[in-house]
Structure 1
Amino acid sequence: MNIFEAIVLGIIQGLTEFLPVSSSGHLELAKVILGDTSVAEESMMMTVVLHFATALSTVVIFRKDILEILKGLFQFKWNEQTQFSIKIVLSMIPAAFVGVFLNDQIEQLFGGAVLLVGCMLLVTAVLLILADKAKNTSKSVGYKEAIIIGIAQAIAILPGISRSGATISTSVLLGIDREKSARFSFLMVVPLIFGKIAKDILDGAFSSTFEVVPMTVGFVAAFVTGMVACTWMISLVKKSKLMYFSIWCASVGTIAIIYSILN
C-alpha cells in the first residue's frame, strides 16, 4: 500500500466512521477500487489503525464528557457518572465477546468481500430510514437499552453495517433522545478500540512486516477528518437528517452488489 492509497483510506475512514454509512464497508470497497493486494490480516490491521485514529478524535471532541465521567468515578459514589460508565461497560460486552471468540472469522471478511458489503449497506439503509421516521425520542439510555445497543454494535462489526448508524438507529428506535443517542454511540466505541489495539500489541500484530509510513499517514488523515465528521454528525442527528445517508448507502450497496455479480 502506497502513501496516496493510505491518505485516501484515512480520509474515507475519518468521514465514514461518524457518518452512518459504514466506514469498514467503504474501506473494503476502496481497497478493491485501489487494487489493494494486502493479505487479510494486513488489510484488517490497516482498518484497526484507522479506527484507532477516529477513536482518538472522539476523545478530543468529547474530552469534557470523558473528564466528567472520570471525575465522577473517582468519587466512588453511586452517581450519574458511575451509572453512565456501567452502561458503557454493558454495551461493550456483546462486541467484546464477538471480538474475542470470533476474531479469526471476522478477519476473513476484511479481504474484498464486495457482495457482503453491498448487502450489509442495504441493511444499514433500512435502519436509517426507520430511525429517521421515529417520533417519540425523549428517553435516556437505561441498562436494558445499553445491552440492546451493544448487540447492535456487535452486529455492526460486519463490513457494510454502519456502527454509528446501527447504534444510533437502535437508540432512536428505542425512544432515546437523538442527541443522547449520538453521544452514547460515539463514547461506547472508544474503550473497544483501545482494547483492540492493546490486544493486537500483546499478540505481536504490529510487527516489522507492516509498512509504518503508509499507516502513519493514513492515521493522521483519519484523525483530522474524523474531528470534522464527528462534530457534523451530532448536528445532523439532532435535525433528523438520516434519510440522505440512507439513500447513499442504498446506492453504494446496489452498485457493490452489481459489481460483485458482474465480476
Structure 2
Amino acid sequence: MDGETALIAVIVGILQGIFEWLPISSEGNITIALTALGQSNTSAVSFALFLHAGTAVSATAYYRDELKAVLRSIPDWRPSEAFDGSTAELSYLAIATLMTGIVGIPAYLLLGEVIGKLQGGMLIILIGGLLIVTGILQRVSGDLALGSREQPDIVDALLVGALQGFAVLPGISRSGVTASVLLFRSHDGPSAFRLSFLLSIPAALGGSALALLESGSLAGISPSGALIALTVSAIVGYLTIDALMRIVERISFWKICLGLGGVAIVGGGLLVARRIGIVAI
C-alpha cells in the first residue's frame, strides 16, 4: 500500500466518523470526495457505503447499554405483545431492519445500474438533488415535531425501515430521513435520534456486506487501506458521536443540506459543461 492510498483511507475514515452523526448524508459527501480524487462512480459509491461498518462499531459501543437491554428482552418476546413494554424496541429493530433490506437491496442494485451510465458530473448533480430532498424533509419535520412519544410501534417500524432503505442512495441522509419520520410520528427529539441510530447498526453492517458482495473493488483501496479507513472511522466516530448529536439538536442542518446540494449541482454542472466543451475549467 502506497502513501497516497493510506492518506485517502485516513481522510475518508475521518469524514465518515464525523459525517455519520450529522444529517447531511455521509455516503453522498464521501462519494463526491472520492470522485474528486479520481475514483470511478461505481467504486466511490461502494466504498462510501462500505465505510458505514466502521461507524456501526462506534454506535454499538456508544449504545451498548441500550443494546444489552434489547438482547435481554428476547426471552420475554411474545407475538401478541410485540410492541408492549420491554420488547417494543426489539420488535422495532427487527421489523425495521427487515423492511430496510426489502427496500434497500433492490434500490442499491438499481443504483449500480444507473451510476455506471452517468458520466462527468452527472453523479454529483444527482447527489446534489438528493441532498436538497433531504434538506426539505428536515425542514418540514422541524415545523411539525411537537410530540412526546418514546416507545415505537409497528407503524414506526414499517415506515422508518422502508425509508431507511432509500438511504442507500448517496445524498439521502439515513439519520436525517429516519429521525424526520419519527418526529412526524410524534416522537420527541432524543427518542427519534436514539431509535434512528440504534437502527443504523444492523443497517450499516448489512450495507457494508452488500457493498463487498456486489463490488469487486472498493474505490481502488487495498484490504490494508480499507482496514485503516474502517479503524479511523470507528475511532473518530466514537470520539465525536456525543458532541455531534448535541450539535444536531441546536443547528438547522436542513440549510446545510440545501447549501451542499446547491454547490454539488453547480459543481457537477460545470463538470458536465466542460466534458461537452461548453466551458473550460
Partners of 1:159 and 1:202 lie apart in 2 by 18
2:91 aligns with one of 86, 89, 97:
86
Structure whose CA Rg is larger? 2
Partners of 1:39 and 1:214 lie apart in 2 by 19
Partners of 1:256 and 1:188 lie apart in 2 by 28
Does residue 254 of structure 1 match 2:262? Answer: yes
Does residue 127 of structure 1 match 2:137? Answer: yes
Q: TM-score, normalization: structure 1?
A: 0.86
2:136–2:254 CA contact under 8 A, matched in 1: yes
Greater Cα offset, 23-32 or 105-114: 105-114
Alignment partner, residue 111 of structure 2: 106
Alignment partner, residue 250 of structure 2: 241
Cα shift at 1:97: 1.1
Does residue 2 of structure 1 match 2:5? Answer: yes
**Would the alpha carbon gap of residues 200 and 50 (structure 1) be closer, same or farther in structure 2, given more than 3 Å must change?**
closer
Matched residues, percent identical? 25
Cα shift at 1:59: 0.2
Cα shift at 1:74: 3.1
2:9–2:221 CA contact under 8 A, matched in 1: no
User: Match of 1:48, as an amino acid?
Assistant: L
Deviation sequence 1:81-117 (CA, Å, 0-9, x none): 3221111122223320133334322235667710111
What's the secondary structure of 2:129's corresponding residue?
helix
Greater Cα offset, 117-126 or 129-138: 129-138
- In structure 2, the gaps of 5 or more residues are 272-281
Alignment partner, residue 50 of structure 2: 49
User: Match of 2:7, as an amino acid?
Assistant: F
Does residue 115 of structure 1 match 2:116? Answer: no
Greater Cα offset, 20-29 or 130-139: 130-139
2:95–2:161 CA contact under 8 A, matched in 1: yes
1:43–1:110 CA contact under 8 A, matched in 2: no
**Would the alpha carbon gap of residues 10 and 133 (structure 1) be closer, same or farther in structure 2, given more than 3 Å must change?**
same
Cα shift at 1:69: 0.9
Cα shift at 1:24: 0.8
Cα shift at 1:132: 2.7
Partners of 1:128 and 1:254 lie apart in 2 by 16
User: Match of 1:171, as an amino acid?
Assistant: L
Cα shift at 1:219: 0.8
CA RMSD of aligned residues (A): 2.6
Q: TM-score, normalization: structure 2?
A: 0.81
1:11–1:222 CA contact under 8 A, matched in 2: yes
- In structure 1, the gaps of 5 or more residues are none
1:124–1:166 CA contact under 8 A, matched in 2: yes
User: Match of 2:235, as an amino acid?
Assistant: V
Partners of 1:159 and 1:15 lie apart in 2 by 16
**Would the alpha carbon gap of residues 102 and 128 (structure 1) be closer, same or farther in structure 2, given more than 3 Å must change?**
closer
Partners of 2:156 and 2:9 lie apart in 1 by 37
Cα shift at 1:19: 0.7
